Amino acid sequence: MKRFSLYVLTMVSSLLMVGCQFSEHLNLNEDGTGKITINFDGSELMKMGEGQVAEKKEKIDSLLVFNDFLEEHKDSISKLSKEMQERLKRLKDFEMHIVVNSEAKEMNMDMYKDFKDVSELGDIFSDFKTAMVIEGKNNKTPGNGSTFDPLETLTSEEGGTKVSYSFKNNKFSRITEIIDAEKVKKSMDSLEKTRMFLASSKYKLKYTFPRKIVKMSSDKATFSLDMKSFILEVGFIEFMENPKILDVEVELEN
């Protein structure tokens, strides 16, 4: 795997996302199987003329299979707390495709997996943040021949939310539960210094179903012409302040 510029990944994993966009894509089949993808588009950040990025002339096209990573580091993982092991285990079926081209001012990251039942999905955004820490540290080249454990800086802190997906009797839902309000507040406090820069950042859901949508809980969603897809977009700051803003309940035709 190609080595990544630590500078580029530090920008992303630190969430200094100036005008960057997150998209959560879900394609649901009739039998409840499907595919989930979370995309991070950092192209606007690249266009800001970051001198260090331009000078490096990075051109990266890389794939990380998390199942392989977990197998490679299983000894280190076994020494972590049960909470941390469970957090890493959630990445098992994901793959991440990263494309960075400094000359074209392009930065795109897709993390995705196929699922057998939509109810097995959880907080995809939290999983993505975990994956970015792993990815950034895993590709840091240690100096002086030293060894490096990409897990050593992974903290146990998460966003304090639980996201559940369900598809039963023609009805689909994505519901967020606030399980630790203090952690949600800490997440917002950590972004306070970058609030101004995050003002134009967005978080978008784009969900596609096997049949037409006949009822939708959100009045902010827009629909495809065939009524089988919807898009719901909110400001990133809005999403961080109120994770439940992306809760949706959808009813499909019989």
Per-residue pLDDT tens over the stretch 189-225: 766 666 676 777 889 999 999 999 999 999 999 999 9
Amino acid letter, residue 139: N
Give yes or no for residue 49 having a pLDDT over 50.
Answer: yes
**Among residues 145, 149, 146, 127, which one has the least CA distance to residue 75?**
149
- Rounded to whole angstroms, the Cα distance separating 112 from 124 reads 10
Q: Is the pLDDT of residue 77 over 80?
A: yes
Q: How far is CA 6 from CA 60, 141, 210, 234, in A?
A: 13, 9, 42, 30
* Backbone angles phi and psi of 58, in degrees to 5: -70, 140
pLDDT at position 92: 92
Q: How many angstroms separate the Cα of 229 from the Cα of each of 156, 188, 208, 211?
A: 36, 31, 4, 9
The mean per-residue pLDDT over the stretch 230-248 comes to: 92
* Residue that wins the pLDDT comparison between 62 and 6: 62
Beta strands in 66-146 (DSSP E): 95-101, 106-115
Single pTM value for the model: 0.81
Angle of the 82-89 helix axis to the 124-138 helix axis, nearest 10:
100
State residue 213's pLDDT score.
97
Q: What are the pLDDT digits (tens) for 165-183?
A: 999 989 999 999 988 888 7
Mean pLDDT of the chain: 79
Question: What distance in Å separates the CA atoms of residue 87 and residue 140, rounded to the nearest whole number?
Answer: 22
Instruction: Please give the pLDDT value at position 134.
Output: 74
Give all strands of the β-sheet with 229-235 in edge-to-edge order. Answer: 59-65, 95-101, 106-115, 34-41, 21-28, 202-208, 229-235, 222-223
17 burial (CB, 10 Å; 0-12 / 13-18 / 19+) is: buried
113: Cβ contacts below 8 Å, ≥ 6 apart: 35, 36, 93, 94, 95
Report d(CA 186, CA 189) in Å as an integer. 5
Least confident of 3-12, 29-38, 39-48, 224-233: 3-12
What is the mean predicted confidence (pLDDT) over 119-141?
76
